[in-house]
């Protein structure tokens, strides 16, 4: 039942889903009337490439975790650094439910079998959304790691130089006659050598 509708209206549903996603952008977004180039219109490019894959999985295709994450990653990654809260960022998956519900007629809803199909479909969409949360969270985690890593890179040479100076200071033999002290006895652990 539903499968037929999904397959018949496939491209129309994907397009409506895409429009719904574009409408989540806080301010009106320009629609460039041409083929979306991946570099001059990255969002449109991502939507065109990945939504069909997500739609196919939601419509009953093989639920392959790797393939799913690969299709979710670009959009989740982009939305993870755009002006969205976590819930707004992954909301795009749920919009597919809205689009499909709106496509069904009253006659479709009146049949019990169709309702069961819709529930099954929506459960699949929910599963996709859960994966989207995972991808989104991983992206945010990467962002925080990057902040830490960058601070390290900025001072990497200074730290290395101090470490090297410290190593050499301990490696130089101490003249007991000048300092009046004995060099530290080798404790068998290689001293301060890394």
Partner 1 sequence: MAEKLKPEQVIDIDYSPPEKGWLDDAKIDFPATKGTWNYAATPESMEYLELPNARKWQPYEDDWKLPADWRRILFEGLKTRLKRFRSLKLFMDICVRCGACADKCHFYLGSGDPKNMPVLRAELLRSVYRNDFTAFGKLLGRFAGARRMDIDVLREWFYYFYQCTECRRCSVFCPYGIDTAEITIVARELMWELGLGIDWVNTPVANCFRTGNHLGVQPHGVVDSLEFAAEELEEITGIEVNLPINKKGAEILFITPSADYFASPHYYTLLGYLMLFHEIGLDYTWSTYASEGGNFGLFHSHEMMKRLNAKMYAEAERLGVNWILGGECGHMWRVIHQYMATMNEPADFLETPRSPVTGTVFEHAKQTKMVHIAEFTADLIHHGKLTLEPSRNDHWVTTLHDSCNPARGMGLLEEPRYVIDACCNQFHEMPENTIREQTFCCGSGAGLGTEENMEMRMRGGLPRGSATKYVADRFGVNILLCMCAIDKATLPAVMDFWAPGTEVGGVHEMVGNALVMSGEKHRDTDLRSEPYPIVESQAHLAPPEETKTEEARDDA
Is 27 a residue that touches partner 1 (CB under 8 A)? Answer: yes
Is 147 a residue that touches partner 1 (CB under 8 A)? Answer: yes
Using CB under 8 A, count the residues that bind partner 1: 47
The answer to whether the beta carbons of residues 51 and 13 sit under 8 Å apart is: no
- How many C-beta atoms surround the C-beta of residue 49 within 10 A? 14
Q: Which is nearer to partner 1, 84 or 118 (CB)?
A: 84
Q: Which is nearer to partner 1, 153 or 189 (CB)?
A: 153
Contact region for partner 1 (CB under 8 A) — 26-34, 59-67, 122-130, 176-184? Answer: 26-34
Q: Which is nearer to partner 1, 15 or 56 (CB)?
A: 15
Contact region for partner 1 (CB under 8 A) — 2-10, 111-119, 143-151, 171-179? Answer: 143-151
Is 158 a residue that touches partner 1 (CB under 8 A)? Answer: yes
Distance of alpha carbon 47 from alpha carbon 12, whole angstroms? 14
DSSP-derived letter for residue 35 is: P
Instruction: Single out the residue of 111, 156, 174, 184 in contact with partner 1 (rule: CB under 8 A).
Output: 156
Is 175 a residue that touches partner 1 (CB under 8 A)? Answer: no
Tokens linked to 174: 């101490």
Q: Which is nearer to partner 1, 24 or 133 (CB)?
A: 24
Distance of alpha carbon 49 from alpha carbon 34, whole angstroms? 15
The answer to whether the beta carbons of residues 173 and 183 sit under 8 Å apart is: yes
Q: Which residues fall within 8 angstroms of residue 131, CB to CB, at 6 or more apart?
A: 65, 68, 69, 72
Distance of alpha carbon 48 from alpha carbon 50, whole angstroms? 6
Residue 79 beta carbon to partner 1: minimum distance, rounded to whole angstroms: 10
Residue 84 beta carbon to partner 1: minimum distance, rounded to whole angstroms: 10
Is 35 a residue that touches partner 1 (CB under 8 A)? Answer: yes
DSSP-derived letter for residue 60 is: T
H or E stretch at 175 = none
């Amino acid at each position: 039942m539903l499968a037929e509708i999904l397959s018949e209206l496939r491209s129309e549903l994907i397009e409506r889903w895409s429009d719904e996603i574009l409408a989540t952008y806080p301010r009106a977004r320009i629609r460039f009337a041409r083929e979306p180039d991946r570099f001059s219109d990255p969002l449109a490019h991502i939507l065109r490439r990945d939504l069909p894959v997500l739609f196919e999985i939601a419509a009953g295709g093989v639920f392959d975790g790797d393939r799913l994450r690969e299709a979710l990653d670009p959009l989740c990654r982009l939305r993870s650094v755009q002006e969205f809260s976590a819930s707004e960022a992954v909301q795009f998956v749920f919009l597919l439910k809205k689009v499909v519900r709106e496509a069904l007629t009253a006659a479709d809803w009146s049949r019990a079998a169709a309702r069961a199909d819709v529930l099954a479909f929506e459960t699949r969409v929910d599963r996709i959304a859960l994966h989207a949360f995972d991808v989104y969270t991983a992206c945010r985690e990467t962002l925080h790691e990057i902040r830490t890593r960058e601070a390290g890179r900025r001072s990497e040479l200074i730290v290395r130089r101090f470490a090297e100076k410290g190593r050499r200071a301990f490696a130089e033999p101490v003249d007991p006659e000048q300092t009046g002290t004995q060099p530290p006895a080798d404790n068998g652990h290689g001293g301060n050598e890394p």
